[in-house]
Structure 1
Amino acid sequence: MAKLAFLGLGVMGAPMAGHLARAGHEVTVYNRTAARAEAWVAEHGGHHAPTPREAAEGAQFVMSCVGNDDDLRQVCLGPDGAFAGMADGAVFVDHTTVSAAVTRELAAVASEAGLGFVDAPISGGQAGAENGQLSIMCGGAQADYDRVEPVLAAYARICRRLGDVGAGQMTKMCNQIAIAGLVQGLAESLAFAQKAGLDSDAVVEVISQGAAGSWQMANRHKTMAEGRFDFGFAVDWMRKDLAICLAAGDEIGAPLPVTALIDQFYKEVQSMGGGRWDTSSLIARLTR
């Protein structure tokens, strides 16, 4: 059992930190809104701290799951940042989906301070976090990964090291690129079925057993057909992720024409007031 800090208690971070506490680790949490950290401690035990630095003091591993590049810099750097409180040899594990550039930037700062750094973005959504069934894509030194992997098992369905620092973020980009295309394909299929007068449940029952089957089809077809999107991974966050993907594609010379198009479809959903809707809301622009 380890002494841990967890920074960021949103819809993903709070249940992830909870799994660490239930696994028997000593967990100190930090959240920008202190009331959320206090509520987490009331439910799970452990401690909460007023700054990332204080949360990280004495921790063997510090996990973060925040919003974007700037949020990550804020919890890592400066006199109140986690790096200032971490002891030599401790490992910082970032679960946020951010750019590979900020990952490498912060990993370099960590290295200079004698700290390990593993980028470990996650996939599986809120349900995956709550059920401890996340896919974790890691980048970092093998020795750092080997130390942290048994801890991540508390909420991992699968956890793999893909390469050096930044490899985890690049793999998460592959994940988001694939999801964007899958959701749009499913949205068009369901909208087509509705306009053709077909029973969408019956259609999915048949086609899901063949080559068209996917996690998105199994888990989202009913709510998509019913126009329910008040859950899951928000469109605003998906657009943030797709912007990272498109920028990286330009940098490495990887064309992403479908991703770019679907990003614009999500922009249209935002204009419909759906910024906080689940990403499956792509169907809304086809059925309004």
Structure 2
Amino acid sequence: MQKQELGFCGPGLMGAPMIRHLLGAGNTVHVWNRSPAKAEALVADGAQVAATPAEMAQHADVVLLCVADGAAVEQVVFGEHGLLAAAEGKDGQAVRVRRIVDHSSIPPELTRELAARASALGVGWVDAPVSGGVAGAQAGSLAVMAGGTAEDVAEVAPILAAYAARVTHMGGPGAGQTTKLCNQAIVTATVAAIAEAVGLARRSGIDAAKLPEALAGGWADSTLLRTFVPRMTQDGLVPIGALRTFQKDVDTVADAARQTGTPMPVAGAVQQILRLGAAMGLAEADLSGFVDVLQTPRHA
């Protein structure tokens, strides 16, 4: 892979290991985060901290984003000190960036709007949400589902190979985000089902922690089963995300289902479980917190 000068906005649980892989591949990486400490923590790995996204845009040819939601993406790119602020006449500095790769999970409709706005300024946009979680980011084995022009996806694919096992071009702008919604519909429904199974096992007097062993090799076996049963039956494990992230994604699934007239009754039930969890004060709980939402007291 040709070494490049890159930018990365959002070095969080997912972004930080992705940045380390980019640095390990020999790239120059400028990093920015709303809370500077997360960006500064990567200086020891060789990253260079940018004061603002606009400053980053003076140095990087390709900028990658991994931020919280659609509002954050829009602010980072088009805000007062955003990546394309100069291109829109809001900043006096030159813009070097030619492509933006958005790893955030945001609505497909918003992605298409932002991509069109960037294209009008001569900047390509690739929506590239990922699957594989923190473990996949650390291992460099993420699955990337990409939307954008074939040329833009082909240009950035060698960069993404630093932390992705594969990059699949799904179609035009927004197609990557729609694919991620399909992924999240499957993941959240499965994790909810695993939580129900753990609850049933416990109330039936069997050791729920042994479910992955008992179901190994059968149709119920999966990466999610092996990941989440331990998290639902053990204490003290490092969190891999918050339930509020699942809630955001499932709410977006519901919006897409409404816009396209797609019946999704299972996703609707999961949405209500997550809303109940938020009402119970579990929005910041680990993704395995489904089991806590469903553990209602047993009545005689």
Partner of 1:81: 82
Query: 2:210 and 2:16 mapped to 1: Cα distance?
Result: 37
Counterpart AA for 1:257? P
Query: 1:186 and 1:39 mapped to 2: Cα distance?
Result: 36
Instruction: Give the number of the structure whose residues are more often helix, by fraction.
Output: 1
Unaligned ranges ≥5, structure 1:
none
| Partner deviation per Cα, 1:160-217 (whole Å, 9 max, x = no partner) | 1111110000000000100111011111111111111112233431223201111111
Query: 1:244 and 1:219 mapped to 2: Cα distance?
Result: 24
Give yes or no for the alignment of 1:118 onto 2:126. yes
After TM superposition, the structure 1 stretch with the greater mean CA deviation from structure 2, 268-277 or 14-23, is: 268-277
RMSD: 1.6
Give yes or no for the alignment of 1:185 onto 2:199. no
Give the Å deviation of 1:220: 1.4
Q: For 1:272, which of 280, 285, 297 is the aligned residue? A: 280
Query: 2:95 and 2:137 mapped to 1: Cα distance?
Result: 26
> In the comparison of the two structures, how many residue pairs are matched?
286
Q: Summarize the alignment of residues 45-84 of structure 1 with structure 2, pairs less than 5 Å apart.
A: 45-83=46-84, 84=86
The 8 Å contact of residues 230 and 277 in structure 1, kept in 2 or not, is answered as no
Give the Å deviation of 1:269: 1.8
Query: 1:124 and 1:155 mapped to 2: Cα distance?
Result: 11
Counterpart AA for 1:252? T
The 8 Å contact of residues 211 and 229 in structure 2, kept in 1 or not, is answered as no
Query: 2:137 and 2:263 mapped to 1: Cα distance?
Result: 32
Partner of 1:258: 266
Give the Å deviation of 1:229: 6.9
SS in 1 for 2:173: coil
Partner of 1:213: 221
Give the Å deviation of 1:247: 0.4
Partner of 2:162: 154
The 8 Å contact of residues 87 and 115 in structure 1, kept in 2 or not, is answered as no
Counterpart AA for 1:161? H
The 8 Å contact of residues 194 and 228 in structure 2, kept in 1 or not, is answered as no
Give yes or no for the alignment of 1:174 onto 2:176. no
Query: 1:45 and 1:186 mapped to 2: Cα distance?
Result: 41
Q: Summarize the alignment of residues 219-238 of structure 1 with structure 2, pairs less than 5 Å apart.
A: 219-226=227-234, 231-238=239-246
SS in 1 for 2:168: strand
Query: 2:202 and 2:79 mapped to 1: Cα distance?
Result: 54
List, as ranges, runs of 4+ consecutive aligned residues in structure 1 with deviation greater than 6 Å: none
SS in 2 for 1:280: helix
The 8 Å contact of residues 93 and 118 in structure 1, kept in 2 or not, is answered as yes
Query: 1:250 and 1:227 mapped to 2: Cα distance?
Result: 38
Give yes or no for the alignment of 1:204 onto 2:212. yes
After TM superposition, the structure 1 stretch with the greater mean CA deviation from structure 2, 125-134 or 115-124, is: 125-134
Query: 1:3 and 1:136 mapped to 2: Cα distance?
Result: 21
SS in 1 for 2:34: coil
The 8 Å contact of residues 5 and 60 in structure 2, kept in 1 or not, is answered as yes
The 8 Å contact of residues 229 and 277 in structure 1, kept in 2 or not, is answered as no
Query: 1:286 and 1:79 mapped to 2: Cα distance?
Result: 44
